[in-house]
Chain A
Amino acid sequence: MSVLLLAEVANGHLVTDTVAKALSAVKALGDVTVLVATQNGTEAAAEAAKLEGVSKVLLADDASLAHELAEPVAALIVSLASGYSHIAAGSTAFSKNVLPRVAALLDVMILSDVTAVKDAETFDRPVYAGNAIQTVQSSDPVKVFTIRTAAFSAVGEGGSASVDNVSVPADPGLSSWVEDKAVESERPELTAAKNIVSGGRGVGSKENFDTIAKLADKLNAAIGASRAAVDAGYAPNDWQVGQTGKIVAPDLYIAVGISGAIQHLAGMKDSRVIVAINKDEDAPIFQVADYGLVGDLFTILPELTAKL
């Protein structure tokens, strides 16, 4: 058995954390070939070759792959697929766009966000935003899946795999890149942040979210919001944490004025430490919080911000 692992590449470099964690998820399945599909990928390929447990790196270097468009990347993977028992990648916006397309082209199902590899055909994955874990067995000849990398530790370096160039099929030309816009924010991105401060309906207004922002500044935290706060217009919807928003798991999650609706809990309950600040002592958020503080957020937050 052998695995083709699609690498995540950004700005010409390997996203080492994602690839190293994905490697640790698949290494028991057989020899792992890492595919670097990008333009000017020599450095990224060399970085991949150094990772422990990589038997070979394939470098597909072509202008059509420069912007991670699904159609050319999927066509490339399908052209290389023969002989592999598993095709996988760390779960990212890139792989989630590409691998389901690959799976359908190979006439197999996809498994998204795998959290455990039980054996060559059996995997655990979360459903209902992590409120249940399914163990599923695939009868497909090739298993195509994305890996929730947070569930795995990274492999180290020390490998010295060879890098082979592979040819790239003609671009199907169905889509074209226009531009990339990185989020311009001093704050860390919600899904990657170590600390998050989130506000709910209890915050009361858009202006009052400044109180949240001050605490977030102090902690170098991302700002989140509950769906109720977003629906009330207090916060933009890309801040939404929950089943229909972002699923986060930071080291520290501070929920302020959030009652703890199921939809919200689904998005943050895997955080390492949860703090809840709410004036209603019966709010369900306290049932998942490690530390709860009952009281008025407008007196608590400034004090907390000052004392941290």
Chain B
Amino acid sequence: MKILVPVKRVVDYNVRIRVKGDGSGVELANVKMSVNPFDEIAIEEAVRLKEKGIATEVVAVSIGVPQAKETLRTVLAMGTDRAIFVEATTDVNVDIEPLAVAKLLAKVIEDEKPNLVIAGKQAIDNDMNATGQMLAALLGWGQATFASSVEIEGDSATVSREVDGGLQTIRVKLPAIITSDLRLNEPRYVALPNIMKAKKKPLEERKASDLGVDITPRLKVIRTAEPPQRQAGVKVSSVDELVSKLKNEAGVI
């Protein structure tokens, strides 16, 4: 079984993002970038399925700026067999929309013919939570989103999903799209020898313009603003003072 995992290069989750003064976006120059954390979980799941002998090959795909090739090297070091990079822009300030990403992935999937796609449930930059669902729609495949456990049995996957107030288990026919939630697994740390080995793994480069997909944005970002800022409050000196403030000033207890 071949598994394909889309990965996105995003601002590292530990970076305090800065909104540009002119409202044109978020400062992305000279900012630490990493693999989108949910995609890292997706890669981990795919690699574990390979280690269990269920998957035979794990292929990662990233779409975006050329720097995303570094992101692909990271996931190759995690145990991905090979990677495909699709250049869709050279401008780091351009975010390729989920619909366009899904269309490009659908093209790659036509050639690669994986039995399963595991994607992160959302990217922590645009927070759209859409690419997996859109890809499933375009391919006419079933979808199991927000997965917290995955069991492959024959030609179906049994997936436990994080829904409001609990878990829902569904069975989805393969090929299918699964999107990973936080509880699915804890991604491994990458050891140095694997980083060295990853440099020799195959990384194919393609261009979005060669895939015959219209990726013209549907959304225009008019303005990016800071959210209302919280002001620091007061320091209290005792538990009694805290209780009194919570009761009488804040009215929350």
Q: Hey, which bits of chain A sit against chain B, CB under 8 A?
A: 67-71, 74, 92-94, 96-98, 100-105, 107-113, 122, 126-140, 172-183, 189, 191-192, 195, 219, 237-238, 240, 243-245, 251-252, 261-263, 269, 272-275, 281, 286-294, 300, 303-304, 307-308
Contact = CB atoms under 8 A, between A and B. Distances in A.
In the A-B complex, the 8 residue pairs with the closest CB atoms:
A174-B142, A290-B233, A100-B133, A104-B134, A104-B137, A100-B130, A178-B169, A109-B218
Nearest to B226: A132
Contacts of B136: 70, 101
Most buried by B among A100, A126, A288: A100
Contacts of B225: 132-135
Classify chain B: how many residues form its interface, as a range: 35 or more
B165 interface: yes
B17 A132 contact: yes
Nearest to A252: B252
A136 B220 contact: yes
A128 B222 contact: no
B98 A110 contact: yes
B171 interface: yes
Interface string B115-155: 00000000011111111111111101111111000000000
B59 to A, nearest CB: 22
Interface of B: 11, 13-17, 19, 26, 37-38, 97-99, 102, 124-138, 140-146, 158, 160-173, 176, 182-183, 186, 218-227, 230, 232-240, 242-243, 245-246, 250, 252-253
A261 B15 CA distance: 9
Nearest to A303: B239
B236 A134 contact: no
B172 A104 contact: no
A236 B145 CA distance: 21
Contact of B124 (A128, A172, A251, A272): A128
Most buried by B among A69, A128, A182, A275: A128
Nearest to A294: B235
